[in-house]
């Protein structure tokens, strides 16, 4: 659970970057960004007490089978290493994160057995998605930020940050996400769309806004950055994985609104 708690903590380098920002963003836009990031901090308490299948297998049974919704059994576990966003803006490596598997009680169910990802976890990622979101946000709003400077903070290679940029830029059309925000917003206003904002950073911030609106409407999203929460929701509900280095399905955010 330590990793889960760390993911939601304050990431000061992003906040500091926004405070220092003297570029072309309007004051209204900057204040909008600043209004979003404290939301991540506010999630920390909720995340600390969030029930998770990882690390408490003796107390609870696994979630229902995602195929037939029948009861399941635990089916082994392993320890994995993760790079997570920790306190004070540092990216830290956790080496003993529990990751369990579950098996459907019905031996004939095609669901068979599957991995249950801990809070903040995502398939095939050592760097949790929250770290990618924070890196791209910093790259978008910090004066003088480069792939190298952001990579140094994230303890990764600059090429990794470049891959995150391409990956997030391909997740969807910012205009479509903006329209969704307008539909969900109580006042119907579109989110700010600053000129000159890199596409990946713009999408991170739009998805942050969108996730906040969805949470306000009662959609149960994981705490943390909107990008990570929406991707995780897509995976948990539809088993849709957004791969980093190969073609992926687009985000189906409209489907996430089902029942709103």
Separation CA 24–CA 96 (nearest Å): 43
C-beta of 67 vs 147, nearer to Zn ion = 67
Q: Does 71 bind Zn ion (CB under 5 A)?
A: no
Q: Which of 54-62, 100-108, 167-175, 178-186 is the region at the interface with Zn ion (rule: CB under 5 A)?
A: 100-108
Site string for Zn ion, 140-179 (x = CB under 5 A): ----------------------------------------
β-pairing verdict for 91-104 and 72-85: antiparallel
Q: Which helix (H) or strand (E) holds 207?
A: helix 199-216
CB of 100 to Zn ion, least distance (A): 16
Q: At what angle do helices 199-216 and 174-184 cross, to 10 degrees?
A: 20
User: How many residues sit in the footprint of Zn ion (CB under 5 A)?
Assistant: 7
Q: What is the DSSP string of 23-73?
A: SS--HHHHHHHHHHHHHHHHHHHHHHT---STT-TTTSPPPPPTTT---EE
66 vs 198 by CB, closer to Zn ion: 66
With binding defined as CB under 5 A, does residue 203 bind Zn ion? no
Please tell me the distance from the alpha carbon of residue 209 to that of residue 216, in angstroms, as a whole number: 11
CA dist 113 and 103 (Å) reads 4
**Tokens coding 211:** 């996730």
Q: Does the protein bind Zn ion through residue 111 (CB under 5 A)?
A: yes
- Show contacts with Zn ion in window 48-67 (CB under 5 A): 65, 67
Q: Pick from 11, 104, 150, 181: which binds Zn ion (CB under 5 A)?
A: 104
Least separation in angstroms between CB 160 and Zn ion: 36
Contact positions vs Zn ion (CB under 5 A): 65, 67-68, 70, 104, 109, 111
């Amino acid at each position: 659970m330590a990793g889960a708690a760390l993911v939601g903590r304050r990431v000061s380098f992003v906040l500091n970057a926004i405070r220092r920002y003297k570029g072309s963003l309007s004051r209204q836009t900057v204040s909008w960004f600043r209004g979003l990031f404290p939301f991540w901090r506010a999630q920390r308490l909720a995340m600390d007490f969030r029930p998770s299948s990882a690390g408490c297998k003796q107390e609870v049974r696994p979630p229902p089978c995602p195929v037939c919704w029948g009861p399941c059994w635990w089916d082994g576990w392993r320890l994995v290493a993760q790079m997570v966003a920790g306190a004070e803006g540092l990216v830290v490596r956790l080496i003993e994160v529990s990751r369990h598997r579950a098996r459907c009680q019905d031996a004939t169910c095609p669901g068979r057995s599957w991995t249950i990802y801990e809070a903040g976890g995502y398939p095939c990622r050592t760097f949790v998605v929250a770290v990618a979101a924070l890196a791209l946000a910093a790259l978008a709003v910090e004066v003088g930020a480069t792939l190298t400077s952001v990579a140094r903070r994230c303890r990764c290679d600059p090429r990794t940050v470049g891959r995150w940029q391409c990956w997030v830029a391909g997740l969807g059309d910012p205009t479509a996400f903006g329209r969704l925000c307008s539909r969900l917003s109580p006042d119907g206003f579109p989110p700010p769309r600053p000129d000159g904002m890199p596409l990946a950073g713009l999408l991170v911030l739009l998805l942050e806004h969108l996730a906040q609106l969805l949470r306000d409407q009662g959609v149960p999203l994981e705490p943390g950055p909107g990008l990570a929460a929406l991707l995780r929701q897509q995976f948990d509900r539809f088993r849709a994985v957004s791969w980093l280095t190969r073609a992926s399905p687009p985000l189906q955010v409209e489907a996430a609104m089902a029942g709103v």
